[in-house]
Amino acid sequence: MIWGSNSLSSKIFLSIISLVLVASVLIAGVTVYQYKEEAKDLHREKLERKQRAINSNIDYILRTTTYPLETNYVPLIFKDKIYEIQEIHSEEINIFDLEGNLLISSFASFYADSLSRNLPDKIINQLENSPDKKYTENFKYDGQRYQSSYTYITNPFFKPIAILNLPYIEDDGYMDQELKDFFVLLSQVYLLMILGAVFLAYFLSKLITKSINQIGEKISATKLSENASKLSVEDSVFELRPIIKAYNKAMEELEESTKKLAQTEREEAWRQMARQVAHEIKNPLTPMRLTVQSFERNFRLGEVKNEAEIKDFSATIIQQIDTLTAIAEAFSNFAKMPSQKSEYLNITKTIQLACDIFKGPHFHMYADKEDIYAKFDRAQLIRVITNLVKNAQQATEHHENPFIIVEVRASKTHVKISVSDNGVGIDEATQKRIFEPKFTTKTSGMGLGLGMVKNIVENYKGSIKLKSKVNKGTTFVIEIPKS
């Protein structure tokens, strides 16, 4: 039997052992929980019994006293009686007035180191608002757990005249020892269970995987080819015959599918190549067309008046032609990206050149410095900006007041480029897939644009992030190192 992290034998073995261990932990956890709940119930019942007994004693004292049953006379009423009650019930007693001021205590120094001689407003409010006019507080002092109960002392007309406080120590020594003894016995039983589970898991996993290993050896001897060999049904055990028949049938279908798949993959590869070429060429062609149309209109209106404007126009067109040339050269080598050139580039001027073809009242570009340098490929940087701006144009084409902003900022180590718009935005589900090579929300195209943008940026050890809200707009943020 082969053991390993991926073997069925080890998984069966570990599953059985894990089941026993989990069951053991759960039983121990339930036991501790049950113990704590029983301890709470026990202490609560003891405190309630003491409280009822002390209340009965107090009622008797109030019925037999000669003092007026008013708050001011409570210290006189219980001046000596409070120690008798403490001795009878073995319980400390504190009596407060209705404002929470300590009137009398059987052991006045009990709270001296930790509590003031006044009750917090929280306790008084809890007592007043409780349906049965009782309140129990749980707290710790010097590592010992306490329950402190508060009830009203009332006159025969049920009018409260004072607050009775009974601090109660939760002595769990006996129950703790019982729990320890129980866990010692339980651990011994668990040890025997785990040892038994180890042997059971080993033999059970070996028995289950024995027949599977036999068919696995037969299948491993079968080579996947156009003439794949079949397994013999007659030589196999009865339980595995349906699996072998299904395997033989699958081999027959696979032989036929292999031939069809090879042909389909070749055809699909050429289709994908053609779509990718069309997508990449369309990016620079569209801004070229807009630039030519804009120059033609300005020339016809006589707005082209100097050689500098003609040079700017020529530089823009030549730049896009260079991009097309790079794309053509790349796809001539089986649709690879344009060859990566690492040159010390003026990022601001290159982006300005890429943005010149998108002039309009809704389009703006800002840079915090005229000259920001970083290592990048000029043609690929233009492709990145052009692709992002075109996406922004498509997102804002139905907006009444569209805007597109390209910003370039520099830090000591990085250049940050952002392209923002106030378009339709991108929902969260789409944002998770937006950079996948073939993912697109458009009705045409392969969805390769943003995937290639991400690939270009990451080739230069940069990063691209997306921030977007539906119907609010989108911002793509690119960061590239300066060197």
Q: How far apart are the first and last CA of the chain?
A: 56
Asked whether residue 2 carries a pLDDT value surpassing 50, the answer given is no
Locate CATH 3.30.565.10 in the chain. 340-483
pLDDT band per the 50, 70, 90 thresholds, residue 179: low
Which strand (E) or helix (H) includes residue 123? Answer: helix 121-129
Asked whether residue 265 carries a pLDDT value surpassing 70, the answer given is no
Q: How far is the CA of 419 from the CAs of 63, 273, 403, 481, in angstroms?
A: 87, 29, 11, 18
Asked whether residue 445 carries a pLDDT value surpassing 60, the answer given is no
* Mean pLDDT across 89-100: 85
Asked whether residue 335 carries a pLDDT value surpassing 60, the answer given is no
Asked whether residue 185 carries a pLDDT value surpassing 60, the answer given is yes
Residue 421 pairs in a beta bridge with 404, 474
Here the tokens at position 356 are: 């010149």
Longest Cα–Cα distance in the chain = 119
Asked whether residue 1 carries a pLDDT value surpassing 50, the answer given is no
Which strand (E) or helix (H) includes residue 89? Answer: helix 81-89
Q: What does 391-456 look like in DSSP terms, one character per residue?
A: HHHHHHTT-SS--EEEEEEE-SSEEEEEEEE-SS---HHHHTTTTSTT--SSSSS-S-HHHHHHHH
* Mean pLDDT across 129-158: 80
Here the tokens at position 245 are: 């028949």
* Mean pLDDT across 459-476: 92
* Mean pLDDT across 142-163: 82
How high is the pLDDT of residue 26?
84
Weakest-pLDDT range from 211-215, 252-256, 426-430, 471-475: 211-215
Q: Where are the beta strands (DSSP E) in 263-421?
A: 343-346, 363-367, 373-376, 404-410, 414-421
How high is the pLDDT of residue 114?
46
Locate CATH 3.30.450.20 in the chain. 8-176
Under 8 Å between Cβ of 350 and 381: yes
Q: Which CATH architecture has domain 340-483?
A: 2-Layer Sandwich (3.30)
Q: pTM surpassing 0.75?
A: no
How high is the pLDDT of residue 437?
65
* Mean pLDDT across 17-29: 79
pLDDT band per the 50, 70, 90 thresholds, residue 333: very low
Q: Considering only the top CATH level, what class is 8-176?
A: alpha beta
**Residue 301 φ then ψ, to 5°:** -85, 0
